[in-house]
């Protein structure tokens, strides 16, 4: 059976942050994802344990990215801030026993070349990978290409480029988070893109496109896409990371329709 996790950053926002974990478990999710820490890691870990739900993934703090700024991971001059945020996320992931840490997105700032940003990105990723190994290598580090249709100045906006970057610079050290929404918004065939890059994919996320809402609100044929990804050999979790158009519980009809199992 296909397994679904859920973002408790974008979804279940009808509840206070710590109550979202129990709400997600009650709705049928055995794993949650946290894009932004909204409480102390120890409190989140306790809430997860009480709810009997696992924390699958955490994001490294993104700086000003969500406010439209450049962010951290690939921004020259912000290396120390990125490494500080990475250290916090790594500690939080270990406290919550989260297997995945996403290193976060960034934009190319005005007046800075993309090549300089990519160089900074590679330096920061290398430092993060070394730090993760130094504490036991218990977490898997992920990068996620977004899309240039929504964010023309994003540093990583192409799934094939990001996958090749991993193969060339960080084989066996970092992995790809494959987001169905971003691949679709890039105009690429989602299943073929997954097949090309399945060697480096470790986690899949989804929302419908356009709009980034729940399945059924856009143009993606999720039954076909999920079946194609399954057939290509994916056995991991599919992470629901969408902006609900109404109360989250009222948007979950897709779980049964698409074959989820908690």
Percent of the chain with pLDDT over 90: 96
Cβ–Cβ < 8 Å for 154, 146: yes
Count of domains observed in the chain: 1
Tell me, yes or no, whether 114 lies in a domain. yes
Q: Which domain, by its residues, includes 28?
A: 3-257
* Residue 261's pLDDT band (cuts 50, 70, 90): very low
**pTM, two decimal places:** 0.97
Q: Is residue 104 part of a domain?
A: yes
pLDDT at 165: 98
* pLDDT, tens digit (0-9, with 9 covering 90-100), for 120-168: 999 999 999 999 999 887 899 999 999 999 999 999 999 999 999 999 9
Predicted confidence (pLDDT) per residue in 1-43, tens digit: 899 999 999 999 999 999 999 999 999 999 999 999 999 999 9
Helices (H), 114-202: 114-134, 159-169, 180-185, 190-197
Task: Give me the CATH number covering residue 21.
Answer: 3.20.20.150
Contact 214, 245 (CB under 8 A): yes
pLDDT tens per residue across span 243-254 = 999 999 999 999
E-state strands within 207-261: 237-240
How many C-beta neighbours within 10 Å does residue 256 have?
9
97-127 pLDDT, tens digit each: 999 999 999 999 999 999 999 999 999 999 9
Short-list 77, 65, 149, 140, CA closest to 111: 77
The answer to whether residue 58 is domain-embedded is: yes
Active site residues: 144, 241
Average pLDDT of every residue of the chain: 97
In a domain, 57, yes or no: yes
Round to whole Å and give the CA distance between 217 and 260. 19
Is there a domain that residue 170 lies in? yes
> CA–CA separation, 109 vs 94, rounded Å?
32
β-pair partners for 142: 102, 175
The residues with which 59 forms a beta bridge, in sequence order, are 102
Taking the C-alpha atoms of residue 94 and residue 90, their distance in angstroms, rounded to an integer, is 6
Tell me if 231 is assigned to some domain: yes
pLDDT recorded at residue 1: 84
Q: Please state whether the peptide bond connecting residue 189 to the residue before it is cis, i.e. omega within 30 degrees of 0.
A: no
pLDDT for the residue 260:
56
Question: 165-224 pLDDT, tens per residue?
Answer: 999 999 999 999 999 999 999 999 999 999 999 999 999 999 999 999 999 999 999 999
How far apart, in whole angstroms, are the C-alpha atoms of residue 204 and residue 4? 10
Residue 262: band (very low, low, confident or very high) from pLDDT cuts 50, 70, 90: very low
CA separation for the pair 9, 38 (Å, rounded): 8
Tokens of 169: 């610079």
Q: Which two tokens stand for residue 70?
A: 């450049």
| 262 assigned to some structural domain | no
| Residue 75 counted as domain residue | yes
């Amino acid at each position: 059976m296909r397994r679904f996790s859920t973002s408790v950053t974008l979804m279940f926002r009808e509840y206070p942050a710590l109550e979202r974990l129990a709400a997600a478990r009650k709705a049928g999710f055995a794993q949650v994802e946290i894009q932004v820490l909204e409480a102390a890691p120890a409190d989140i870990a306790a809430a997860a344990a009480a709810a009997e739900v696992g924390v699958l993934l955490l994001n490294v703090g993104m700086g000003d990215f969500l406010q439209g700024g450049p962010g951290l991971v690939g921004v020259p001059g912000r290396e120390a801030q990125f490494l500080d945020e990475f250290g916090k996320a790594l500690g939080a992931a270990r406290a919550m026993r989260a297997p995945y840490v996403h290193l976060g997105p960034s934009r190319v700032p005005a007046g800075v070349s993309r090549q300089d940003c990519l160089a900074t990105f590679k330096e920061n990723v290398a430092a993060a990978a070394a730090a993760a190994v130094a504490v036991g290598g218990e977490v898997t580090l992920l990068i996620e290409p977004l899309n240039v249709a929504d964010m023309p100045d994003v540093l990583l906006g192409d799934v094939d480029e990001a996958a090749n970057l991993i193969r060339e610079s960080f084989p066996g050290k970092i992995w790809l988070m494959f987001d169905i929404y971003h691949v679709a918004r890039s105009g690429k065939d989602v299943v073929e893109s997954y097949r090309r890059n399945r060697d480096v994919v470790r986690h899949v996320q989804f929302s419908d496109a356009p709009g980034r809402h729940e399945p059924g609100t856009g143009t993606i044929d999720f039954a076909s896409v999920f079946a194609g990804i399954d057939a290509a050999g994916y056995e991991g979790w599919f992470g629901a990371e969408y902006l609900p158009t109404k109360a989250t519980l009222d948007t979950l009809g897709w779980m049964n329709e698409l074959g989820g199992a908690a």
